[in-house]
Amino acid sequence: MDLSVRPHANCGVMFLALNLIFWAKLCMFGWMSTPSTTVSIPRFNFLLQPEFPLNALILASDALRIANQNSGRDLFRWCYVTETGGPVRASNQMWFDADHALDDMPRADVYLLFEGNLPTQNMSRRLLGRLREAGRFGAIVGGVDTGAFALATAGLAATEVDRDIVLHWEAEAAFAEEFPAAHPLNQIYRVSGNRVHCAGGVATLDMMLDLIARFHGGPLANEVANALVHTRRPDTTPQRDDMAQPAESTRLASRMVAVMERNLDFPLSLEELAAELGVPPRSLTRVSRRSFGESPMRLYLHIRLQAARNFLFYEEYSIKDVAVACGFSYPAVFSRAFKAQYGQTPRTFRSVMRARQNEGVRPELRRLISSSAQAQRSA
């Protein structure tokens, strides 16, 4: 036997063995996969709570649909999740089917919680646990509209490290009562690391376009915006700019309202308001009547009652606590003022609203209870 060729043969065998080991390790650690899963497709889980804003959900899901449609590829996947996996009713009374329950939803890259008129009433331990779990695994976790309440409760937002938060402007006062150290921002959305927040409504689309750009680039995000006849807005765009007029008197009116909104529980006198704004009381009265058709103190009362209405709408505080939070020393005085503005007492306002909202909670049980009651009466 010619031993001179044996080293070459051995080298070939060793090279083949090393090759096999190399490719095995690639597969083992996920560095090489089958052609059908070569590219990881970002998955979104849309978590829907009772009374969620359907307009925001449609914009969020349609943005992903259009990205897939216009690219001719599945760039994104998404599913709809509810607490039990059953249908959930939106704030406009429409019912929406779910793909999964919280306990069996697939792992995702992005979890967006769609919350609306009941930000604290359906905040279950299961929901908070799933949000924390998603955060621990490094997913992007965010809240839409009033979803910030659950994220803050779960310790995923408005923390000591980062107090900034974005939620719908109407819910800011109620949020400040729950999380006084938080810093709500007057902007349409915010993306900070793996936390995202938006004010709801059309702001949801702006946030989704930002996320699309982060996954697949700005040109695709702009293409989706054009398809939805929308112009992308920066995250720092104010939620409301209806007071952004160049006139000096209007700037003073905006500052006056801002001071009033910051001092709900201990209302300032006219003199104190004027001193805070650095103008004479007479000038403040003139600007208030010109801008709002009301005296400053009458305007102040309307602002306090609007804040009270939001507390009753979003939270479950007692009538007495709402009265104190909005600067009324006695609940009876608060009730009279509230009824004069809204035509209902605070208690009636809340009970009527909750009765309508509760119709969407487990309707199959309500139907069975109603049928049972009717059968008993017939017997």
Mean pLDDT confidence for 336-342: 94
- Cβ atoms 87, 98 nearer than 8 A: yes
Claim to verify: residue 195 and residue 254 sit in the same structural domain: no
Q: Residues 207, 92: one domain? A: yes
Both 258 and 215 in one domain: the answer is no
7-12: average pLDDT: 47
| pLDDT above 60: residue 372 | yes
Mean pLDDT of 228-240: 95
272 and 138 share one domain: no
Q: Pick 367 or 27 by higher pLDDT.
A: 367
Which domain, by its residues, includes 183? 39-227
| Complete DSSP assignment for 202-227 | THHHHHHHHHHHHHH-HHHHHHHHHH
Given this model, what pLDDT does residue 249 score?
A: 54
Strands 88-89 and 95-96: antiparallel
Q: Is 349 part of any domain?
A: yes
244-270: average pLDDT: 82
> In whole angstroms, what is the distance from residue 343 CA to residue 272 CA?
31
- Distance, in Å, from the CA atom of 48 to the CA atom of 82, rounded to the nearest integer, reads 5
Structure confidence by residue, pLDDT tens digits, 178-208: 898 999 999 999 999 999 999 999 999 999 9
- Give the separation between CA 82 and CA 95, rounded to whole angstroms: 12
Whether 204 and 288 map to the same domain: the answer is no
pLDDT digits (tens, 9 = 90+) for 122-155: 899 999 999 999 999 999 999 999 999 999 999 9
Please state which of the ranges 197-201, 248-252, 322-326 shows the lowest mean pLDDT.
248-252
Q: Is the predicted pLDDT of residue 308 greater than 90, yes or no?
A: yes
Tell me if 255 is assigned to some domain.
yes
On whether residue 354 sits in a domain, the answer given is yes
CA-CA distance, 103 to 111, in Å (whole number)? 14
Reply yes or no on whether the pLDDT at 32 is more than 60. no
Q: Is there a domain that residue 13 lies in? A: no
Cα–Cα distance for residue pair 343/349, rounded to 1 Å: 9
Average pLDDT value for residue range 7-30: 45
**364, part of any domain:** no
Q: Are residues 222 and 280 in the same domain?
A: no
Residues 322 and 203 both lie in one domain: no
**Judgement on whether residues 282 and 145 belong to the same structural domain of the protein:** no
Give a yes or no: residue 34 inside a domain. Answer: no
pLDDT of residue 28: 38
Q: How confident is the model at residue 47 (pLDDT cuts 50, 70, 90)?
A: very high
CATH code of the domain containing 304: 1.10.10.60
Higher per-residue confidence, 370 vs 258: 258
Same domain, 51 and 191: yes
The pTM for the full model equals 0.69
83, part of any domain: yes
Instruction: Identify whether residues 168 and 100 lie together within a single domain.
Output: yes
Say if residue 3's pLDDT is above 80: no
**In the predicted model, is pLDDT for residue 296 greater than 70?**
yes
Band the pLDDT of 316: cuts 50, 70, 90: confident
> Which one of 180, 196, 227 terminates a domain?
227
The pLDDT value recorded for residue 147 is 96
Dist. CA 326–CA 350, nearest whole Å: 16
**CATH number, residue 105:** 3.40.50.880
Residue 2 DSSP one-character state:
-
Q: Is residue 23 a part of any domain in this protein?
A: no
SS3 track for 87-125: CEEECCCCEECCCEEHHHCCCCCEEEEEECCCCCCCCCH
Q: Are 218 and 344 contained in the same domain?
A: no
Domain check: are 270 and 204 in the same one?
Answer: no
Domain count, the chain: 2
